[in-house]
Amino acid sequence: MEPGQIKISVVLGGHLRHEALPGPQNRTVELPTGSQVSDLVSHLGLTDERVKIILLNGRAVDQAAPLADGDRIGLFPPELAYNTFVAISFRRKK
């Protein structure tokens, strides 16, 4: 990893795995330090409209959320939004 870079673990849900730039559904991405979720979305070749739910380290965030080295992020399209929301709502709090 280059200085001034962060490494993010990304999971693409639903059709996003086919719409993003070529790569696996689960991938590691390097971005400049200070990047936000919106920078990751652009880096993956996705549009804002196609990313409906964003989970950053297990918590729902928006595209303005800052990213840090080692973060885990899940991106989900509108067609999975309801199912993902329900699954998150029933998850036990620890």
Sign of CA dihedral 23, 65, 60, 7: positive
**Roughly how many angstroms between the first and final C-alpha of the chain, as a whole number?**
33
Per-residue pLDDT, 89: 59
CATH of the domain at 74: 3.10.20.30
Domain that holds residue 72: 5-89
- Cα–Cα distance between 6 and 26 in angstroms, integer? 17
| Count of structural domains within the chain | 1
User: What pTM, to 2 d.p., does this model score?
Assistant: 0.84
Question: pLDDT (tens digit, 9 = 90+) per residue, 26-76?
Answer: 999 999 999 999 999 999 999 999 999 899 998 989 999 999 999 999 999
Chain centroid to Cα 27, Å, comes to 10
77 within a domain of the structure (yes/no): yes
94 within a domain of the structure (yes/no): no
